[in-house]
Amino acid sequence: MRTLICNLLLVFLGVCAVNAQKSLSFKEHTHAAEKALTENNFYDVGFHSEAAWTLKPKHFEILKNAADAYLMARDYMKAAELYQILLGDNKFADTRLNYARALQQSGQYDEALPEFLQYSSTYNGADREQILDKIESYVEGSTKGIVQTEQAKTSTNNPKLMHLNFNSAKNEVNPFFFNDDIMYFSVQTPRDTMIVRSQYSNEDWSAPTEVPALRNLVPNRAILNGNFVNNGNDFYFSAPENIVKNKRTTKSIYLYHVQKTASGWSVPEKLGERINIEGGISTQPFVFKKYDQEWMFFASNRPGGRGGMDIWWTKRPLNSPVSDFEAPQNCGSIINTDGDEVTPFYDIKLGELYFSSNGRPTLGGLDIFKSKGFTNKWYAPENLGMPFNSSADDMNYVQSQDETQSYFVSNRMLGAEKLNTLDDDIYSVALNAETKYELKGIVQSAENRATLRIARVTLFEKLEKEKTRKLLVSTMCTDGIFNFTVFPNKQYILEIEADSFIRQSQNIAINYDQMTYNISVPLERSKIPDVVANLPITNTPDIHFVSNDSALLVAQTSKPTQEKKQSSAGKNINSKLSYRVQVLAYETPDYNSQRRLQRVEDMGEFDTERATVNGKTYTRVLLKQQNTYTEAISVLKKVKSRALSDAFIVRYENGLRADK
């Protein structure tokens, strides 16, 4: 019945939209789009811009505005439709990239992949290297999306949309629990946010009701999200505040604390300047007790982060005032990227941090990740994959206290129950403890049996009848350890690769009589030099690449004068000249340097040099020696064609570096 009503409403709204487009003039539509933009109502911006374009179809810049607005409004299919019209217009350089992103986020992975690859092959902007890294991430996420979409077709543990009265055309976000039977969450519209409450009884959740006591905590300001602690006697939350200075309004989001008293909640106390930054965002608190301390993870765009929103942590002694929270510390580059990391949830028993990110390979938009560790020591985050993640945005992961259910927020479509991606709803997935067959292993160096800190492990199912193989999962493992769920009476192929080592494959048969398979995989070294082997994985490296204006480290690529006998003092008239191409130089090796070197690994052996400049020690990585400058120029052109634009030629005399 609800589906029928939704369909009828969509038809009705479609008729109204057509009539609206016909009844307004071009100027009226453009003014309406401008007004909607000031209100951050991106769907209306797209609607009115598209309508204006239909009246004057030569104005493709208006169509571009419509497509961009629909993408911001998360109407991915509509955005893809409009971007496709613009593909032939070279004035809009980012159209193909946005078209591919819209396809990916609407779940059209097969169509998105060739668009990403075509854009990467034709883009020649100054930031080509950074764009290639982003596209590599998009391609990896889309490839995983294809595989996991097929696997999801046979899965029995699919996400469920919460009670039909629970979710609406508004945004239902930020769920948090008082206990397993009482859930609070935020209902957001462009003009308002309110906290509501729902109770579980008779195997279902009740229709949500507003909580006036929480709405009135901070007069004239909405509570965006929160977290109960100390058996519900303490409540941490965030609320927006507008600060007017010199007739300019700055929007901030601050963290607050209230305590339950005999007469209700205490007066809200804004956490101190250590936590809240004027003009900044501090939000989504998750507070818990550990080691006789009260700890808090939260999301913030405060200075000192990796970019965008980051996850931060702070602590204070139990029973001390909230003003005693220490200065927050960033969770570091293992967790945070130059994208957004938001909605932290910490599983105290397992020591695992759950959060959402769009700064690493995802199935589309924000995906939910988990990482084992604490404060600033973490293992590489693991993408939870489907059913928790989708091609749309997925965030706000939480667990029930009895650990039987997980809840999260997504704007994904779900069959006939949810027909668009315009709003967020709350979903649930059962946390099963079924019997598993496990394939565990460790990746080591064959040379000394040392465990490799990072390796990519890919698992295929071997299909005998088709004489082929099916990709199941491909993942980066930290500390050389991997663990896959497998099924008995099946044949698998395991492929292992690590930078500086030769790829290896193994055939593995799983039988019913053994539930856990432990294997060791020794890898032989390849051509990449030892100095960049065993590097930590991070999407936001601390690497400092040498640039062309660092005169002490980078030699300018200019053709040298012809060799002549010189009589000046200190010159060897018979000095032998040779040349090398320097690929990169770094202060601290990291994952990004590995990826750069992979692009030229097939061009021969590497050499490394160490150089100390202004008290800092750098490692230079160079290709093999060339006897003539002409040969070196040929090698340099090939290196630069692989998006290593800062490579250059270095001159050597008698084996010693002559260019500083």
Neighbours of 186 (CB within 10 A): 23
What pLDDT is attached to residue 126?
87
Does the structure show a pLDDT above 80 at 434?
no
Q: What is the DSSP string of 503-570?
A: -EEEEEEE-TT-SEEEEEEEE-B-SS-GGGSSPPP-SS-------TT-TTT-----PPPPP----STT
Q: What is the DSSP string of 204-243?
A: EEPPPEE-HHHHTSSTT----EEEEETTTTEEEEEEEEEE
Q: What's the length of the chain? A: 660
How would you classify residue 217: left for phi > 0, otherwise alpha for psi between -120 and 50, otherwise beta? alpha
Phi, psi of 331 (to 5 degrees): -70, -5
Does the structure show a pLDDT above 90 at 463?
no
CA nearest to 474, candidates 568, 547, 382, 573: 382
What pLDDT is attached to residue 597?
77
Judge contact between 343 and 355, C-beta under 8 A: yes
Neighbours of 569 (CB within 10 A): 5
Helix pair 2-23, 42-55: axis angle to 10 deg: 50
Give residues with Cβ within 8 angstroms of 69, minimum separation 6: 33, 37, 42, 43, 45, 46, 49
498 vs 4 pLDDT, higher one: 498
What pLDDT is attached to residue 566?
39
Identify the band that residue 354 occupies on the pLDDT scale cut at 50, 70 and 90. very high
Full-model pTM: 0.66
Does the structure show a pLDDT above 70 at 563?
no
Highest mean pLDDT among 123-127, 223-227, 550-554, 583-587: 223-227
320 vs 544 pLDDT, higher one: 320
- Report the alpha-carbon distance of residue 341 to residue 357 in Å, rounded: 4
Judge contact between 499 and 456, C-beta under 8 A: no
Give residues with Cβ within 8 angstroms of 248, minimum separation 6: none
Does the structure show a pLDDT above 80 at 223?
yes
Q: Which H or E run contains 52? A: helix 42-55
Phi, psi of 222 (to 5 degrees): -85, 145
What is the rounded average pLDDT of the residues 348-354?
Answer: 91
Share of the chain above pLDDT 70, in %: 85
By three-state DSSP, how is residue 478 classified?
Answer: strand
Residues 46-100 pLDDT 10s: 999 999 999 999 999 999 999 999 999 999 999 999 999 999 777 888 899 999 9
> What integer best gives the mean pLDDT of the chain?
82
- Report the alpha-carbon distance of residue 521 to residue 387 in Å, rounded: 30
pLDDT-wise least confident of 190-199, 240-249, 488-497: 240-249
Q: What angle do CA 413, 414, 418 make, to 5 degrees?
A: 70
What pLDDT is attached to residue 595?
67
Judge contact between 606 and 528, C-beta under 8 A: yes
Residues 452-462 pLDDT 10s: 878 888 888 88
How do strand 468-478 and strand 282-290 relate by DSSP bridges? unpaired
What pLDDT is attached to residue 122?
86
What pLDDT is attached to residue 256?
96
Phi, psi of 322 (to 5 degrees): -65, -15
Identify the band that residue 476 occupies on the pLDDT scale cut at 50, 70 and 90. confident
The Cα-based distances of 70 to 34, 37, 173, 359, 617 in angstroms read: 14, 12, 21, 21, 48
Does the structure show a pLDDT above 90 at 336?
yes
Residues 371-411 pLDDT 10s: 999 998 999 999 999 999 999 999 999 998 877 889 999 99
- Report the alpha-carbon distance of residue 492 to residue 503 in Å, rounded: 17
What is the rounded average pLDDT of the residues 291-296?
Answer: 92
What is the rounded average pLDDT of the residues 575-603?
Answer: 77
- Report the alpha-carbon distance of residue 2 to residue 417 in Å, rounded: 8
466 vs 486 pLDDT, higher one: 486
Radius of gyration of the chain, Cα coordinates, nearest whole angstrom? 28
Residues 146-183 pLDDT 10s: 988 888 887 766 777 765 556 778 899 999 999 888 99
Residues 597-635 pLDDT 10s: 777 877 877 788 888 877 788 888 888 889 998 899 989
